[in-house]
């Protein structure tokens, strides 16, 4: 076991968190592969600024704040001096005061207005509650309002004209503020501060959209003669100044040394035990997570569990409620928290957590952000979140009030999890990742040029991003949406461009889930468009606070799913597959036995059916069909294929080659995500022929099979053209910039996958290296692990040839 500690761990006798950590290590020591003990540290303080407004000083004093942490004091000086700044300090280090103090001071001095942007409504509500408490404590008279989709129409005018601090989100700024900026003229003329919290969220597609949104905001501000100071806050990432500068288009100065006191922290890396040595199958992360949570709750420790999907949140919640909430007459001790719940439910859950009435909350990344949920002792991660930064952000939710805290990262069988858990020194000693965005990704940039042209005419010589603006405007002129007059381009279409551009790559509006039990019509949840096809299809079990509902009817056009309460003893999991067709080859690197290419592809994703999985035993007890529209997109991809004749020389059958390619794609997908520091969900993978004639998938027997365009099975031996390729593609329309670095690192991706497979302890292949293999080599006549290694070795054969 790898153990990193800055000092010897304190005795377990005097603290329940230490006792729990010691008990878990004593009882399950073989499952703990790494440990980190970080001692607590005292705070570093500075006096309140002399020039602080008396009313603001009184408000702080009444809330027990008589001095500032050192980073808060530095932030006060920088922001007051007009320096664009980014705060990068740990969770619960008081970042909110870093921007609230200078903003409130400026408002009290009669010096302008502020715009606060948060990625979620929950964070906005939290911020307004914080401002209201300060307002009341010091009788400041400052008007702070939320402006989001829940703001009533009759209140919006008051927000625009009277708000000193407007708290909103990027989506509202994009669709409801900037396109109607003339109604906000008074606000923009006096705008002095723009605060962007949870900056690390703005990565990938969302980050590219956000950077273009800030370009549009900057145009509007300049039109009204304002130059606001930007203040950004972030969890720990490797490149805060670079990301902040790319988001706001200006140099930004970072404050990264925290003066806040920190409680002692224990971290355990936990690998479930092997239960089938032949197949390398481990106990599920789910079973280990609930075991640790039960132990913590029974020890009287407030606990949070993070799961990777909404479905897993509901399954874990059910398992814990079966233990702790079996008596419906008693208050619930366990609650779930995730996107899709109605706002009133989420607010009630947050209130119960702050009040300490709940012993355990199970959440997706929705609670990864800084919503105030009170004091927690234990944080358990059901699977690696995909990045070191996200892992520490989640673990930071425990011990928020200078208390000792325990975090446990429970690995799943995913290759990325197993790599981290088998190499704990990589995780424990590594720095957080870089956050990457590509604001000039052409489709995203063009969308925002449309929106910006609607808001204000473009003038000759104006810049918007790194591409040639006049060429983009000329294209829009050809499309008939802008008109050039002298040196200006004016919007001329009847359409309202912001409505057709989603910042979060959601193609359509949300679906509502309607409970029709006993003839009722109560809306109980919302589901976003991209998740609908795999969660609320007819026959699906939709879970809410671990209560199962069966979907009886899905109105795809009307965006409604009608459900009824059920007592089903199973949950459902959608089956999906993807086929690709190459549209254009940008570049290729042919070598001795294989070639790697990068280009544009057409992707079709189909969800033809679902599995019924029994609780606890997790056995598959049946299937159902799904009849929903295909989801299609154009994107960019990298693909690897073997040279003609090589397949026949290296494999005795096409079935061997197919299993090898599927195993290689599985390993390469996870290695690639690590190489470009992307979430695995940001990359898609597929095995097929590249012409869309057939694609490969893993059958229920654990063996590869090929299907035609309509999903009909085919025999690999009878295919006239059998040229399988591994595709790794950007999982967003138009791409987001991962294919280029993957192409440049093509050998490292294949080599990393080869090492992952070679170093795995399994005999024939397992979910930790080549995928969900369900048959040993005695059944197949060959080892899936061996044929996967053959495919990867062949892709790497040019490196050996060149070296020799």
Would you say residue 119 lies in a domain?
yes
210 and 158 co-located in one domain: yes
DSSP 626-656: -----EEEEEEEEEEEEPTTHHHHH-SSHHH
Residues 68 and 144 in one domain: yes
pLDDT of residue 676: 75
Tell me how far CA of residue 430 lies from CA of 38, 337, 420, 427, 433, in angstroms.
15, 30, 11, 5, 9
Among 527, 551, 568, which residue terminates a domain?
A: 568
Tell me the residue range of the domain where 213 lies.
51-255
Question: Same domain for 196 and 291?
Answer: no
For the four alpha carbons of 333, 337, 342 and 343, in that order, the dihedral sign comes to positive
Q: Is residue 118 part of a domain?
A: yes
Contact predicate 7/36, CB 8 Å = no
Kindly state whether residue 595 falls inside one of the protein's structural domains.
Answer: yes
What pLDDT digit, counting tens, does each position of 71-126 carry? Answer: 999 999 999 999 999 999 887 788 899 999 999 999 999 878 999 999 877 778 77
Q: What is the pLDDT at residue 577?
A: 79
The string of pLDDT tens digits covering residues 11-53 is: 555 689 999 999 999 999 899 998 988 888 888 999 999 999 9
Compute the residue count for the chain.
804
SS3 of 729-740? EECCCCCCCCHH
Given a contact cutoff of 8 angstroms between Cβ atoms, the answer to whether 178 and 448 are in contact is no
Concatenate the DSSP letters of all residues of 181-239 into one string: GGGGHHHHHTEEEEEE-SGGG--HHHHHHHHHHHHHHHHHHHHTT--PEEEEEES--S-
Q: Do residues 34 and 70 both lie within one domain?
A: no
Helix, strand, coil share of the chain (percent; to 5): 40, 25, 35
What tokens appear for 67 in the block? 């001095």
Query: Which among 578, 716, 726 has a CA at the least distance from the CA of 641?
Result: 726
Q: Are residues 187 and 58 in the same domain?
A: yes
Task: Indicate whether 505 belongs to any domain.
Answer: no
Residue with tokens 């980050």: 207
Q: Residue 375 domain-assigned?
A: yes
**Residue 255 has what pLDDT?**
94
What confidence category does residue 433 fall into, taking pLDDT thresholds of 50, 70 and 90? low
Q: Are residues 370 and 232 part of one domain?
A: no
Please report, for the domain that includes residue 287, its CATH number.
3.40.50.300
Q: Is the pLDDT of residue 7 over 60?
A: no
Same domain, 160 and 302: no
Residue 14 confidence (pLDDT): 67
Q: Are residues 246 and 272 in the same domain?
A: no
Q: Residue 479: which of 467, 495, 464 has the closest Cα?
A: 495
Which long-range contacts link 545-549 to residues 24+ away (Cβ below 8 Å)?
Answer: 545/314, 545/317, 545/335, 545/336, 546/314, 546/317, 546/318, 546/321, 546/336, 549/513, 549/515, 549/517, 549/524
CB 602 within 8 Å of CB 591: no
Position 435 in a domain = no
Note the pLDDT tens digit of each residue in 472-526: 999 999 999 999 999 999 999 888 898 888 786 534 567 889 999 988 888 988 8
Whether residue 649 is found in the same domain as residue 538: no
- Cα 771–773–778 angle (5° rounding)? 145
Residue 14 has which token pair? 């005097």
Q: Please give the tally of structural domains in the chain.
A: 5
From 526, 542, 568, give the residue that closes a domain: 568
For the cut 80, the answer to whether the pLDDT of residue 800 exceeds it is no
- Domain shared by 225 and 144, yes or no: yes
In a domain, 20, yes or no: yes
Residues 83 and 196 in one domain: yes
Burial 182-220 (b: 16+ CB within 10 A, else e): eebeebbebbbbbbbbbbbbbbbbbbbbbbbbbbbbbbb
468 and 553 assigned to the same domain:
no
For 44-93, give the DSSP string.
-EEEPPTTS-HHHHHHHHHTT--EEEHHHHHHHHHHHTT--EEEE--TTS
Domain boundary among 477, 500, 523: 500
DSSP structure class, residue 800:
H
Q: Is residue 434 part of a domain?
A: no
Q: Regarding predicted confidence, which is higher, 367 or 361?
A: 361
């Amino acid at each position: 076991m790898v153990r990193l500690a800055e000092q010897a761990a304190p005795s377990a006798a005097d603290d329940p968190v230490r006792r729990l950590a010691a008990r878990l290590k004593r009882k399950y020591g073989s499952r703990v592969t790494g440990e980190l003990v970080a001692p607590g540290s005292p705070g570093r303080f500075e006096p309140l600024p002399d020039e602080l407004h008396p009313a603001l000083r009184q408000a702080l004093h009444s809330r027990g704040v008589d001095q500032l942490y050192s980073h808060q004091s530095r932030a006060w000086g920088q922001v007051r001096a007009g320096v664009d700044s980014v705060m990068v300090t740990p969770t619960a280090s008081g970042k909110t005061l870093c921007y609230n103090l200078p903003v409130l001071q400026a408002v009290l001095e009669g010096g302008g207005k502020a715009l606060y942007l948060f990625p979620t409504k929950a964070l906005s509500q939290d911020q307004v509650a914080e401002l209201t408490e300060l307002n009341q404590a010091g009788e400041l008279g400052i008007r702070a309002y939320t402006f989001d989709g829940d703001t009533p129409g009759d209140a919006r005018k008051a927000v625009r004209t009277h708000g000193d601090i407007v708290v909103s989100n990027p989506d509202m700024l994009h669709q409801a503020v900037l396109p109607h900026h003339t109604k906000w003229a008074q606000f923009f003329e006096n705008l002095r501060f723009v605060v962007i919290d949870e900056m690390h969220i703005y990565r990938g597609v969302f980050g590219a959209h956000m950077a273009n949104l800030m370009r549009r905001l900057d145009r509007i501000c300049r039109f009204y003669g304002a130059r606001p100071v930007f203040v950004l806050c972030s969890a720990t990432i490797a490149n805060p100044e670079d990301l902040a500068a790319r988001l706001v288009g200006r140099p930004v100065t970072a404050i990264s040394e925290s003066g806040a006191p920190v409680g002692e922290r224990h971290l355990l890396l936990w690998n479930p035990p092997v239960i089938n040595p032949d197949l390398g199958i481990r106990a599920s992360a789910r079973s280990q997570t609930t075991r640790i949570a039960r132990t913590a709750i029974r020890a009287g420790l407030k606990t949070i569990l993070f799961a990777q999907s909404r479905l897993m949140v509901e399954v874990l919640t059910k398992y814990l409620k079966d233990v702790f909430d079996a008596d419906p007459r008693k208050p619930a001790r366990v609650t779930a928290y995730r996107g899709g719940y109605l706002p009133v439910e989420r607010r009630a859950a947050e209130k119960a957590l702050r009040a300490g009435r709940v012993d355990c909350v199970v959440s997706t990344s929705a609670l990864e952000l800084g919503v105030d949920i009170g004091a927690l002792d234990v944080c358990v991660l059901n699977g690696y979140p995909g990045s070191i930064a996200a892992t520490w952000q989640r673990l930071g939710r425990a011990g928020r009030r200078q208390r000792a805290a325990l975090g446990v990262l429970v690995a799943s069988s995913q290759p990325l999890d197993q790599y981290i858990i088998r190499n704990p020194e990589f995780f424990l000693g590594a720095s957080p990742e870089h956050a990457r965005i590509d604001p000039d990704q052409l489709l995203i940039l063009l969308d925002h040029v449309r929106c910006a042209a609607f808001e204000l005419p473009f003038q000759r010589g104006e810049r918007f991003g790194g591409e040639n603006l006049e060429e983009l405007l000329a294209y829009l002129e050809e499309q008939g949406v802008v008109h050039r007059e002298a040196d200006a381009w004016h919007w001329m279409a009847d359409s309202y461009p912001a409505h057709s551009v989603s910042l979060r790559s959601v193609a359509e509006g949300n679906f509502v889930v309607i409970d029709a039990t006993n003839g009722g019509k109560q809306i109980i949840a919302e589901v976003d468009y991209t998740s609908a096809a795999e969660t609320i299809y007819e026959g699906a079990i939709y879970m809410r606070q671990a209560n199962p509902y069966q979907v009886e009817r899905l109105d795809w056009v009307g965006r409604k799913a009608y459900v009824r309460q059920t007592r089903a003893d199973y949950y459902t999991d959608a089956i999906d597959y993807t086929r690709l067709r190459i549209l254009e080859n940008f570049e290729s690197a042919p070598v001795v036995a294989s070639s790697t290419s990068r280009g544009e592809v057409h992707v079709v994703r189909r969800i033809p059916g679902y599995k019924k999985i029994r609780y606890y035993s997790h056995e598959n007890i049946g299937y159902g069909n799904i009849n929903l529209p295909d989801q299609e997109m154009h994107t960019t991809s990298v693909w690897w294929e073997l040279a003609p004749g090589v397949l026949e020389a290296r494999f005795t059958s096409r079935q061997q080659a197919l299993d090898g390619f599927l195993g290689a794609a599985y390993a390469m997908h996870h290695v690639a995500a690590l190489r470009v520091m992307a979430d695995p969900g940001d990359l898609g993978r597929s095995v097929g022929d590249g012409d869309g004639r057939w694609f490969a998938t893993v059958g229920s027997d654990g063996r590869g099979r090929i299907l035609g365009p309509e999903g009909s099975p085919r025999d690999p031996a009878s295919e006239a053209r059998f040229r399988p390729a591994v595709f790794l593609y950007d999982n967003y329309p138009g791409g987001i910039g991962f294919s280029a670095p993957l192409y440049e690192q093509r050998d490292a991706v294949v080599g990393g996958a080869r090492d992952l497979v070679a170093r795995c302890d399994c005999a024939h292949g397992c979910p930790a290296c080549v995928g969900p293999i369900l048959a040993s080599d005695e059944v197949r006549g060959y080892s899936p692990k061996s044929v996967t290694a053959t495919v990867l070795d062949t892709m790497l054969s040019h490196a050996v040839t060149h070296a020799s």
